[in-house]
């Protein structure tokens, strides 16, 4: 029990620490990978809380997602390496105010909520995975399928609008423009 | 004890692969060559390039090695010879291998060199495509075993190995494993002819030694995963279970080296097109076929 509390605290602090690094660095790569390791620490937090499937899934998904985000940040930002000394922050006072008040609310919720008794025993990882599978393919199937189809539609739409309209332009007798 | 045995098996297999790799490159079979090459790396100057991202530069080779070892930790050599028999073992293999991408991107970005960076970003495209061909065949394997536990997956192949039950999945997984280990003909991130070594280009001395060891270890881990998922793991006559696991793992790893030795490097555009246009539909077809087999054949 004490070991579990210790690891929950360690990974929780690691998640917060990497989260701070995200905003402390000017390098887009460092920022993206700090966010990745913050999310990985959250995954480890799940593992420490004995929700194995969610933990492993979180650790797996974040690696590719954050790497993709990194390349987009490098592509679109003016100073991806952070070597030019460019200040990319804005609305500082508002951001600090919003951040502090959100943190206060989160801590208040954590402290004031009635969390109920802590579970003394949890079912093993295999039973959890099975229960999750039954839930996903039963009661929650429509919700997840709808979300999946929506994301797929958005991906196809985004790809479609990013294809240059060369053919349409040449049909009108104009120069192809990109 | 188990940890020591598995790590020793991993190191021994990596050494054997290095010997065979040297044999194919030079034509001379020299069992001590990897040791001397390793020592030579340690003796050389370990150059730090100008204005590197030092954290990434230093962490990348170590992360790659850690990831390969973590992947191996959930793969069984025998029913009781496994470091951690997780309830989500098959998924954990994926999770560990996803960090190969992170390590290679860090190795590409860290040294502040053009070739390395191109190599790193190339691997991003390559892995996002081919990790689908890792995940989807494993899904079909887990479907047959009705479990994500790796020992249960091997147990489900007692009567019939998955290479026979789902050959399409095996072919896709084998190709994707080679792409993930970025061995020839999928070695675009470290292409010597066109990128001057790519992600390896800026590494020298002890850092290069760790990077080489990590890449060989990764091949062994992927070969072990192929053995567990498709070649019946420890199942086999006469010899003890762990011996069968090792023989099969080494056979798969050596076959990967041989395929790479005789095939030319694939063009980037073709590599991506084949995966997205052909590989992923085939992986979906494999899941459908396995699903039908499970429903129809008792």
pLDDT digit string (tens) for B250-284?
Answer: 999 999 999 998 999 999 899 999 999 999 999 99
pLDDT at residue A172, rounded to an integer: 58
pLDDT at residue B249, rounded to an integer: 95
Contact present, B171 and B285 (Cβ < 8 Å): no
Q: Which residue has the higher pLDDT, B298 or A74?
A: A74
Containing structural domain, residue B40: 2-296
Cβ of A67 and B149 within 8 Å? no
What does pTM read for this prediction? Answer: 0.90
Whether residue A98 lies inside any domain: the answer is: no
Contact present, B276 and B132 (Cβ < 8 Å): no
pLDDT at residue A167, rounded to an integer: 63
The chain-wide mean pLDDT, for chain B, equals 92
How far is B67 from B99, CA to CA, in rounded Å?
7
Compute φ and ψ for B81, nearest 5 degrees.
Answer: -110, 80
Residue of A21, A33, A67, A133 for testing the chain B interface, max B β-carbons within 10 Å: A67
Q: Which residue has the higher pLDDT, B231 or B298?
A: B231
How far is B68 from B242, CA to CA, in rounded Å?
20
Looking at the 3D structure of chain A, how many domains does it have?
1
pLDDT at residue A16, rounded to an integer: 93
Cβ of A125 and B88 within 8 Å? yes
Contact present, B141 and B98 (Cβ < 8 Å): no
pLDDT at residue A173, rounded to an integer: 54
B130: nearest CA in chain A? A64
Cβ of B109 and A68 within 8 Å? no
Q: Which residue of A63, A70, A71 is in closest CB contact with B99?
A: A63
Kindly provide the ipTM of the predicted complex, given to two decimals: 0.88
Give me the residues of chain A with pLDDT under 70, please: 167-178
Chain A residues with CB-CB distance to B112 below 8 A: 81
* A-to-B residue pairs, Cβ atoms closer than 8 angstroms: 65
Whether residue A51 lies inside any domain: the answer is: yes
pLDDT at residue B284, rounded to an integer: 96
B124 touching A (Cβ < 8 Å): yes
How far is B296 from A111, CA to CA, in rounded Å?
54
Residue of A29, A55, A75 for testing the chain B interface, max B β-carbons within 10 Å: A29
Q: If you average pLDDT over residues B136-146, what whole number do you get?
A: 94
Say what the alpha-carbon torsion angle B73, B129, B214, B231 is, to the nearest 10 degrees: 50
pLDDT at residue A170, rounded to an integer: 60
pLDDT at residue A165, rounded to an integer: 75
The chain-wide mean pLDDT, for chain A, equals 87
Containing structural domain, residue A39: 2-77+125-170
pLDDT at residue A93, rounded to an integer: 93
pLDDT at residue B8, rounded to an integer: 93
Looking at the 3D structure of chain B, how many domains does it have?
1
Question: Is the link from the previous residue into B185 a cis peptide, with omega within 30 of 0?
Answer: yes
Whether residue A104 lies inside any domain: the answer is: no
Q: Chain A residues within 8 A (CB-CB) of chain B?
A: 27, 29-30, 33, 36, 52-53, 56-57, 59-60, 63-64, 67-68, 70-71, 81, 83, 124-126, 128-129
Of A78, A97, A100, the residue nearest A88 (C-alpha):
A78
Whether residue A89 lies inside any domain: the answer is: no
B86: nearest CA in chain A? A125
Q: In angstroms, what separates the C-alpha of B168 from chain A's closest C-alpha?
A: 25
Whether residue A31 lies inside any domain: the answer is: yes
Say what the alpha-carbon torsion angle B233, B238, B243, B248 is, to the nearest 10 degrees: -50
pLDDT at residue A168, rounded to an integer: 60
Compute φ and ψ for B78, nearest 5 degrees.
Answer: -155, 170
Q: If you average pLDDT over residues B216-221, what whole number do you get?
A: 95
pLDDT at residue A176, rounded to an integer: 47
- The helix/strand/coil state of B78 is strand
Taking CA atoms, A112 is separated from A16, A99, A118, B127, B283, in Å, by 21, 20, 16, 45, 49
Query: By mean pLDDT, which of A46-55, B42-51, B159-168, B244-253 is the weakest?
Result: B42-51
In degrees, to the nearest 5, what angle opens at C-alpha B98 toward C-alphas B97 and B99? 85
Q: If you average pLDDT over residues B29-49, what whole number do you get?
A: 88
pLDDT at residue A178, rounded to an integer: 45
Say what the alpha-carbon torsion angle B244, B173, B70, A38 is, to the nearest 10 degrees: -170
């Amino acid at each position: 029990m004490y070991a579990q509390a210790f690891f929950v605290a360690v990974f929780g602090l690691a998640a917060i620490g990497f989260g701070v690094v995200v905003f402390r660095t000017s390098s887009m790569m460092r920022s993206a990978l700090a966010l990745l390791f913050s999310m990985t620490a959250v995954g480890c937090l799940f593992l420490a809380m004995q929700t194995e499937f969610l933990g492993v899934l979180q650790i797996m998904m974040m690696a590719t997602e954050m790497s993709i985000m990194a390349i987009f940040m490098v592509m679109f930002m003016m100073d991806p390496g952070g070597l030019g000394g460019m200040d990319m922050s804005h609305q500082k006072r508002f951001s600090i105010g919003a951040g502090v008040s959100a943190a206060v609310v989160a801590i208040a919720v954590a402290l004031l909520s009635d969390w109920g008794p802590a579970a003394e025993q949890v079912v093993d990882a295999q039973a959890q995975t099975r229960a999750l599978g039954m839930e996903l393919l039963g009661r929650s199937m429509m919700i997840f399928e709808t979300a999946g189809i929506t994301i797929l539609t958005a991906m196809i739409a985004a790809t479609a609008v990013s294809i240059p309209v060369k053919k349409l332009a040449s049909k009108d007798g104009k120069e192809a423009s990109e | 004890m188990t940890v020591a045995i598995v790590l020793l098996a991993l190191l021994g297999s990596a050494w054997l692969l290095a010997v065979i790799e040297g044999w194919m490159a030079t034509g001379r079979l020299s069992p001590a060559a990897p040791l001397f090459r390793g020592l030579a790396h340690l003796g050389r100057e370990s150059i730090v390039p100008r204005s590197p991202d030092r954290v990434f530069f230093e962490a990348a080779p170590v992360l790659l090695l850690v990831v390969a070892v973590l992947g191996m930790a959930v793969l069984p050599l025998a029913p009781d010879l496994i470091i951690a028999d997780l309830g989500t073992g098959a998924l954990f293999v994926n999770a560990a291998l996803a960090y190969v991408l992170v390590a290679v991107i860090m190795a590409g970005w860290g040294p502040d060199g053009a070739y390395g960076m191109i190599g790193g970003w190339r691997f991003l495209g390559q892995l996002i495509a081919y990790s689908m061909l890792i995940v989807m065949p494993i899904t079909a394997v887990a479907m047959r075993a009705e479990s994500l536990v790796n020992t249960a997956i091997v147990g489900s192949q007692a009567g019939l190995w998955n290479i026979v039950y789902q050959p399409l999945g095996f072919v896709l997984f084998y190709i994707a494993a080679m792409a993930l280990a970025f061995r020839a003909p999928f070695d675009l991130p470290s292409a010597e002819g066109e990128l001057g070594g790519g992600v390896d280009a800026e590494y020298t001395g002890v850092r290069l030694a760790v990077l080489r060891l990590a890449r060989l270890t990764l091949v062994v881990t992927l070969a072990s995963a192929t053995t567990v998922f498709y070649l019946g793991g420890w199942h086999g006559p006469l010899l003890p279970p762990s011996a069968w696991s090792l023989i099969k793992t080494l056979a798969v790893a050596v076959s990967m080296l041989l395929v790479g030795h005789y095939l030319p490097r694939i063009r980037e555009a073709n590599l991506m097109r084949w995966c997205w246009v052909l590989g992923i539909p085939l992986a979906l077809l494999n899941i459908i076929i396995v699903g039908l087999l499970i429903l129809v054949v008792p």
